[in-house]
Amino acid sequence: MTRLTHVTAFALALCVALTCTSAGALTKQQATSAAIGAFESLGYPAPQQGPAVELRETKFGPMWHVVLGPDCDAEMSELSGKIVALHDWRAESLESAPSPITKEEAERLAIDHLKKALGGLPGEAQSVAVEPRFGESRDRPGMWFVTWQRKIGSYRVSPDQLAVTVNAQTGRLVGFRNNFVTPAPASMEPTVTRGQAVEIARKEAGGRAEQSVEIIVVDPDHMKGMKPYGRRSVVAWVVRLAGRDHMSVTVDGQTGEILGVAMAMGVRAKRVGPSSPRSDGGAPGTTTQRERTPRWVWLALACVLLVAAATIYVRGVRARPGGGDSQGP
C-alpha cells in the first residue's frame, strides 16, 4: 500500500512538472539553445567550453544563467522566455583602430546588435543617451555605453532601462541588459491631482516649496525594495523640492501613498499606507518611516559610552583600599 502511495505521488509530481513546462516556463535546454542562438546571430565564434546552466532567483524573477565559456554568458527569463542579458568579455579587447567609433556610430551599432540579438529595438525605448568610458586616454574612449529609457505613452517608466556596451575601437558588442519588465498600469489616469500630490510631498518635506512635478509609471515593489520587480505598476507623481539635497517625493497617483523619498545621497524613507487624508474623505493610514541614522549620532553615542566607562572605572579604583581617595598615616 505504501509503495502504491509513493508511485501515485511520483505520477502526480510528474504531471505537475509537465503542466508547468507546457504552460510556458522556459526549460534548461531551451535556455541553453536560445543563448547559443543569440551568440550565433551576432556572428561571434562559438565558445569552446561546454555550457554551465543554473536557475537563479533575481530581483526580476527567476533567470536561467547560461555560461558558454570563460568569457561568455547570457541570462534568460524563465517566465517570459526572453533573453535579458548577454555578455562577451572577449570583445573588451582595446585593439587599436585608425579611427575610433564616434558617438553617432556607437548608437547605430548598438541598434544593429539589438536587431540581431533581440529582433530590434523595443518600441517603447526612447530618450537615448550615449556616454563614453575612457580607455588609455580621455581622447580615446574604450567603450561606449548606449542606454534607452522606456516610456508608456508619454510617461517615463522607472526603473526600466535598456543598456548596450560597444567597443569604441572595434564596434563589437560587449554586452547588453534589457530591464524592460514593468507591465503597463491598469489605469494611466491618476485620481490624485497634481495639487494633492504637491501638498502631500510638501508636508513630508516640512513645507518646502516644489521645484518641479512629473508623472511617471513606477513599480511600487521596486520603490519599497520588495522582490521580484516587474509584477505590477502604477502611475505616480514625482515632486522635486527646493533644497541642496535635491529631495524628491514619489506619491502613488491612485491612493496618495508615499512610495519613496529620495535625496542626493539615496533613498531616505519608505512608507506604507497613505500619508495624509484624501480630499474624497478617505481616512489617513498609518505610516512607518525608517531613516538612516547620521554618522555623528553614532560617534556621539560612542563618546558618551567611553566617558561613562571611564567614570565607572575611576570610581572603582578610588573605592579600593589604597586607592586615590584613601589617606596615608
User: According to the model, what pLDDT value does residue 129 have?
Assistant: 93
Nearest to 129 by CA among 158, 99, 106: 106
pLDDT along the chain (329 residues), means of 10: 36 34 71 88 71 88 89 88 89 69 92 91 89 67 90 91 92 92 92 96 92 94 80 94 90 94 64 39 34 63 84 76 51
User: According to the model, what pLDDT value does residue 185 have?
Assistant: 94
Name the helix (H) or strand (E) containing 302.
Answer: helix 295-319
Task: Find the DSSP H helices in 69-185.
Answer: 103-118
SS3 call for 190: coil
User: According to the model, what pLDDT value does residue 221 have?
Assistant: 84
Nearest to 216 by CA among 235, 241, 201, 240: 235
Task: Take residue 151 and report the three cell numbers written for it.
Answer: 516610456
User: According to the model, what pLDDT value does residue 40 have?
Assistant: 86
Burial class (CB in 10 A: 0-12, 13-18, 19+), 310: exposed
- For residue 313, how far is the Cα from the chain centroid? 50
* Phi, psi (rounded to 5 degrees) for 322: 85, 5
Could you give the C-alpha distances from 302 to 230, 296, 313, in angstroms and in order?
43, 10, 17
CB 163 within 8 A of CB 87: no
